Structure 1
């Protein structure tokens, strides 16, 4: 495979073409900007897993010009002292043990997208005076010439520290609409002093940063950049201009370029969610390959599928593959690909609940499908001190995760699943064509259960008598959730179905569909039906739909709803369901009757926990896990299964 062949970036050779992309520190920076042990363990696990190069999260060269974040969970790394550099050295030595290279991502700052709730915005800055993205009443002032010179000196000094610490390369962050990206964008850089305005002025500072790094670390020290080739907004950069920037940066000494697209206005493009197609930005890498002369191009964007990543390289679209979330989900992704164990790769599902959403919620970075992220040391699975007989009732994500973890620790594990297949509510949630990554997760779990020593009994419903006959030491009740049916006059009529009924094909939708509930399930089933040509409306009691999800995912699901002409009624209450219509009190407090052949209930799930009281005394340890304990999303199911099973 070309994916596993060595590749050259400037003066260094990577053992393969797989690069772990940078992501925010997410609670792993000490108050003085040093990396903590948790993130060193995290990166080391990815090096051990076979990545060719590790890229750290964003690292600042100055703590004076754009103030550090107040909150520790969004604090940045620093590389402005040898105390901070000592941790880079520790990380470099650790990843080098596995033949992996280390690149430190340098971050100029956030500029106009600095979040007032994250940063100490005493003196907020940008390329030129402009309002904050988050609060138009806050003005970000333009950096002064003196500050620009101070930053250039800081880049030079930091680069020398980075090389001395043993790192192998530097990556410049110039995407996502952050400060260096803003600097090269006409709408966000209106300076008139030679560092902005026209094209030459806007690229002057980035070029001088590259030159400063080369002065500090040496001309042979590789400098790469992650660049937003365009922003997909009227005021943003066009792809054509982005390609011209690439040309000029290569002439100025850049050693490699990775390209994506998007800004805070189109944030779902920067972090492609589940609903995006695989390999969504490989075409941008291909465009870039056609304009560079000698430097390698690194492809980004939902490339965590071995056959796809390989094809991007084989077809000459790119020279390297950069992936972040797939290596959060499975740090052993490269080793498993190399060994031909593709079916053992734990897939990223792109829901962002465990990674970027947690950062925004002031929690440490992790992963929905891999609870061990950033807990590699604390959550290392240990052999059980005492082998126990474990019964798992329910074969959904919580039950399967608990069963696998318990079995790995040496317990004797049995799953009882009353249906004829494993998967639980993951099965209906995976039905829409834009949820194929969920299908991969179901396949992964079924495969791992099949390879394990877990005994599976399908079509078996748990009763007290059967459980007592088995005599388990531990019971995990993982019976999932059941649809929440609102108390609405007419809800028992034949035109009323649940979202699960529709997704599993148990009921067919008519041509006119009203979906009650505008949460994640309601929005997804609305798009699913609208793509079939149905006329769909969503009725949501709250003031907006798609509330409880990461903002990038929300932006894209709203785009899909708009694209497929789904009507959305918010702050609306259903008064009655009739044969052929539904009566709604809308946001203007007016009564409105919507025609409907089918009314689909998507108002969430309730814990299916009836067995808990029945089985409370049937074993010395009884644990409800997943939706049957607290109805939630996939993260709650997988994490509770993992966390409980690792402790028994």
Structure 2
């Protein structure tokens, strides 16, 4: 505890007595939907129990709960968070909240319910669109509709109280209806709900007062507030502080949760790796200096050291940590026990968000494949200790080796290169991707602590694998760069992005990046080149860059590229490469254009599986498996998920 005296000190917030200064803000709907089936709810609760046990997280504010909506018959709200019935009005709402709260109360953790209603679905104070990426004109609310919502907030708070929650948090930010009222940009009303700060805050204050009159002093009541708006026409930091002071002056709020970001911009409110850990904490410090109630700050609080520094600097009284706990459920216990080198680092890639909401896949954490599987409990190990040979020291091979060793197998890992890590070694060279280097260092340290037999510079042949005689063999040999069949691609001035990131090639000043990849790597290569001083143009065939990168992440990298002067050309495919020019073709009209001049061309066109070793042995060895990019090139999260699934299969097989 001496290493983190602020982090592990108790504090009182309203009715809540907290054992430490960590709150988990809303983030778990993808992990296990507390409002879904019974199985989904159990998965959600088990996830939080893991993080609250052993004097872990003191406060969970992750019940992000939508209000009932009021629309005319036949109107369908659209967008993230669109709802009509709302969670509060579900017939099992009270029972679910009781189930959640009772489980965490048993662990000494406080629980608050966040009250959310997204703006523009379809309601707004005025017919003004709040974001340049969303162009749905909203319905302008009447005063009668405002009064209806005030009553709905009060009734929803009563239901949360019946659910045995410790408090409620009014969501005033991130495109919420309340933020639209608070903003001088989206609120252009001329009645008592528009104009002055007091008028723009009237709707929120009426809701707070109605909630307080309903629950009395039995519950904590707080607000989550954008410290500034990301559109220049919105309110700035000084305005955000003034709003918080006004809310405090009403005597209705017990704390203010100050955050930065929008659901679409740069930064988003789920800031990805391009932002420094704790980057926006000084803004929260402005809030703390202006208020007497406790201040919570959430935003890239990536580890206990960052949390401690934010608290010690006086920027906040409590820190919100979500993704850090997704990456490591034992984070606080390890910090308290001085085992910080064992804390699994979050890389900030936001696949935990994008997989579910962009690709429609099940939840997964890129660095911790065990997250969301807490309800399943520990694997039942087989009685026979078997020898596992893992060929390939990239993300899939490293994770499989560690999981198998942790669960009783005798593991040897061979890697052809002189260093472990595979393509992670290239990713770590990209600007603001230090988290990936930290993850790789952590993973290697994990393997060494476990005693895995590691051998680098070992280019395995079929004969060597046969001679080793493992009970189980896993081939994770990765992938090599894909070279598209473009005339001129073999010219000397055409190079691969891996060679660029590894510093193995020299480039001219004017660089064209050919992107044939639906995720962030081509954009990251362009960022790397721009930061190195090159004049960069990126050509991609899709109608938007990196279509598999979600809205919470894409703004950061696109903002960096535009600030650096990178030119993006959409819907174009390079069909020929000349010495200083390229010929492109529009993927819809087939019209061709000549682009240039360029000194160098960089290929960022994905990968092709390197599965020759597996192909040579698959019909011969009885228990052989292929995983990671050797099966199909994808991302880090795919590699670790496959490693987890295979490890579980190996550990639980042949029980005796």
TM-score, with length taken from structure 1: 0.91
- CA-atom RMSD in angstroms: 2.8
Say if 1:56 and 1:531 are closer, same or farther in 2 by CA, change over 3 A. same
Give the equivalent residue in structure 2 for 1:465.
Answer: 463
C-alpha separation in 1, matches of 2:172 and 2:34: 21
User: How far 1:577 moved relative to its partner?
Assistant: 3.4
User: How far 1:531 moved relative to its partner?
Assistant: 0.8
Question: What is the SS of the residue equivalent to 2:433?
Answer: helix
Q: Deviations over 1:255-306 (max 9, x none)?
A: 11121223345264311111112212102111101211x2111122111122
User: How far 1:488 moved relative to its partner?
Assistant: 2.3
Give the equivalent residue in structure 2 for 1:43.
Answer: 48
Whether 1:374 and 2:376 are equivalent positions in the alignment is no
Give the equivalent residue in structure 2 for 1:552.
Answer: 552
User: How far 1:48 moved relative to its partner?
Assistant: 1.9
Structure 2's unaligned 5+ residue stretches are: 651-656
C-alpha separation in 1, matches of 2:543 and 2:379: 44
C-alpha separation in 2, matches of 1:534 and 1:135: 29
TM-score, with length taken from structure 2: 0.90
545-554 vs 403-412, which moves further:
545-554
1:99 to 99, 108, 111: 108
Q: Deviations over 1:70-100 (max 9, x none)?
A: 9999879723467311221121121122221
Give the equivalent residue in structure 1 for 2:600.
Answer: 598
C-alpha separation in 2, matches of 1:594 and 1:186: 45
Q: Deviations over 1:585-623 (max 9, x none)?
A: 365945425233332111111111111211213432222
Question: What is the SS of the residue equivalent to 1:585?
Answer: strand
Question: What is the SS of the residue equivalent to 1:274?
Answer: coil
Say if 1:111 and 1:32 are closer, same or farther in 2 by CA, change over 3 A. farther
C-alpha separation in 1, matches of 2:134 and 2:565: 31
Say if 1:568 and 1:160 are closer, same or farther in 2 by CA, change over 3 A. closer
C-alpha separation in 2, matches of 1:33 and 1:387: 37
Give the equivalent residue in structure 1 for 2:566.
Answer: 566
User: How far 1:138 moved relative to its partner?
Assistant: 5.0
Size of the aligned set, in residue pairs, is 635
C-alpha separation in 1, matches of 2:139 and 2:108: 44
228-237 vs 10-19, which moves further:
228-237
Give the equivalent residue in structure 1 for 2:299.
Answer: 301
Question: What is the SS of the residue equivalent to 2:441?
Answer: helix
Whether 1:111 and 2:119 are equivalent positions in the alignment is yes
1:52 to 54, 58, 74: 58
Give matches, 1:12-411, under 5 Å. 12-23=16-27, 25-26=29-30, 28-30=33-35, 36-48=41-53, 50-62=56-68, 64=70, 78-80=87-89, 83-107=92-116, 109-112=117-120, 114=121, 124-130=122-128, 138-219=136-217, 221-252=219-250, 253-266=252-265, 268-292=267-291, 294-378=292-376, 380-411=378-409
User: How far 1:431 moved relative to its partner?
Assistant: 0.6
C-alpha separation in 1, matches of 2:146 and 2:585: 54
Whether 1:523 and 2:523 are equivalent positions in the alignment is yes
User: How far 1:147 moved relative to its partner?
Assistant: 3.4
Q: Deviations over 1:557-598 (max 9, x none)?
A: 22111111122333334344344x232236594542523333
208-217 vs 360-369, which moves further:
360-369
Q: Deviations over 1:283-334 (max 9, x none)?
A: 2111101211x21111221111222221111111111111111111111111
Give the equivalent residue in structure 1 for 2:440.
Answer: 442
Question: What is the SS of the residue equivalent to 1:188?
Answer: coil
C-alpha separation in 2, matches of 1:153 and 1:576: 64
Give the equivalent residue in structure 1 for 2:654.
Answer: none
C-alpha separation in 2, matches of 1:73 and 1:224: 21
User: How far 1:408 moved relative to its partner?
Assistant: 1.9
**Is the 1:328–1:366 Cα contact (8 Å) retained in structure 2?**
no
Say if 1:369 and 1:73 are closer, same or farther in 2 by CA, change over 3 A. farther
Question: What is the SS of the residue equivalent to 2:376?
Answer: coil
Structure 1's unaligned 5+ residue stretches are: 115-123
Question: What is the SS of the residue equivalent to 2:180?
Answer: helix
Question: What is the SS of the residue equivalent to 2:536?
Answer: strand
User: How far 1:476 moved relative to its partner?
Assistant: 1.4
User: How far 1:103 moved relative to its partner?
Assistant: 1.4
Give the equivalent residue in structure 1 for 2:15.
Answer: 11
Say if 1:356 and 1:101 are closer, same or farther in 2 by CA, change over 3 A. farther
